Amino acid sequence: MPRYALLVEYDGGPFAGWQRQAGSPTVQGALEAALARLEAGVPAVAAAGRTDAGVHALGQVAQADLGRAWDAFRLSEALNHHLRPDPVAIRAAARAPEGWHARFSATERRYLFRLLNRRAPPALSRGKVWHVPRPLDVDAIRDGAAHLVGRHDFTTFRASECQADSPVRTLDALDIERVETAEGPEIRFHVRARSFLHSQVRSFVGTLERVGAGAWAPGDVKRALEARDRAACGPVCPPQGLYLAGVGYPADPFAAAAP
């Protein structure tokens, strides 16, 4: 049974997350429904990560096991046809290497968080950014973020319902930039690790917003981390603004795919 890698983009606003749920629209459900239009009996798809309700993706990676060999370009075109009108798009498809798995073969996940830092609420980017009207100190945010990079016990920054066996993770990067856009200044958080805990990125951003607002000192982030206590975390920011930006593999399965 040939396995295909799918590079998936979606607007998470209308969905209850990636994972299929009875009675709720999900990205997995939309993709599996499109696949069922191509072949009967397609097994459940797997993805590199399960995004929560309202979280978007620029570069989610999923796998689909199909009964016959498809031309990769024709497969992506057919899926995009059947995915309409859902806000889900297959950016590329490729025949997966032997033994490849969308989740277990991944070596890193990259997330982007967009915070719109202006007085007026967003109109064009509503649902795509977290709007914070008060001025934020980006240098203080960077100082606070520096305490989170590296290998740590992230109990403070994971949701109480997180099912991971261990709270220990290695955060490879947490880079913050201020970008002037046509809509106003954005503070963008670029986060990279092999794997993440449930709500870890949103817990980071919500806490660091408090640092930028002056309610926390940068050193308070270190104290919260060392507390290893969920109660020590700052507010968890909303899902709007969070994007699964990309997934890394030892070899890019889409390297030969058409742009």
First to last CA, the chain: 26
Going by their DSSP bridges, the two strands 46-47 and 150-153 should be labelled as unpaired
Question: Which is nearest to 108 in space by CA: 170, 163, 201?
Answer: 170
Please indicate whether residue 229 is annotated as part of the active site.
Answer: no
d(CA 244, CA 113): 9
Contact at 8 Å (CB) between 187 and 176? Answer: yes
Instruction: Catalytic residue, from 11, 52, 172, 220: name it.
Output: 52
Residue type at position 124: L
Taking a C-beta distance cutoff of 8 angstroms, is the pair 36, 115 a contact?
Answer: no
Token pair recorded at residue 181: 């856009």
Q: What is the Cα–Cα distance from 113 to 189, expressed in whole angstroms?
A: 5
Tell me which residue has tokens 């979280």.
55
List CB contacts of 71: < 8 A, sequence separation 6 or more: none
Cβ-contact 173, 191 below 8 angstroms: yes
Residues marked active site are found at 52
